[in-house]
Amino acid sequence: MKLSARNQFAGKVKEISEGAVNSLVKIELPKGQVVTSTITKEAVEDLGLTVGADATAVIKSTSVIISTNPNGLSARNKLNGKVVTINEGKVNDVVKVELEGGEVISSTITCEAVKELGLAVGTDVTAIVKATEVMVMA
């Protein structure tokens, strides 16, 4: 299956916490980073997700927030890394961040935000994604 979402991270289901309607699914990437997703219990069943199963976390680049100071945020996914490229546009830039495990996550943010944060290749940043913005493929 081909998707337009730039960020697709294959891993293994590490943990599933079931709620009344939704479940929290944690996917461990090959180098140890963990991506957390909130999806419905029905989706967990339909996808046949179990601990140890293969799964892919899918995140649109427009759902990735970049921060140079992520303290005090409630978002479940705070992935540390370094900026490796900035593709400049007229309104938005695409910032690519190499995570500590070697994976690369893309974020589409405004040019203004890139300037305000002082982003450049080599800048230490945190890519932030709410768990509700992470889709899961099995």
DSSP 12-71: EEEEEEE-SSEEEEEEE-TTS-EEEEEEEHHHHHHHT--TT-EEEEEE-GGG-EEES--T
Full-model pTM: 0.94
31 φ, ψ to 5°?
-100, 15
117 φ, ψ to 5°?
-80, -10
Contact 105, 126 (CB under 8 A): no
Query: Domain map of the chain by residue range?
Result: 7-137
In this predicted model, what pLDDT tens digit does every residue of 94-135 receive, in sequence order? 999 999 989 999 999 999 999 999 999 999 999 999 999 999
**Would you say residue 40 has pLDDT above 90?**
yes
Q: Which amino acid is at 71?
A: N
CATH class of the domain whose range is 7-137: mainly beta
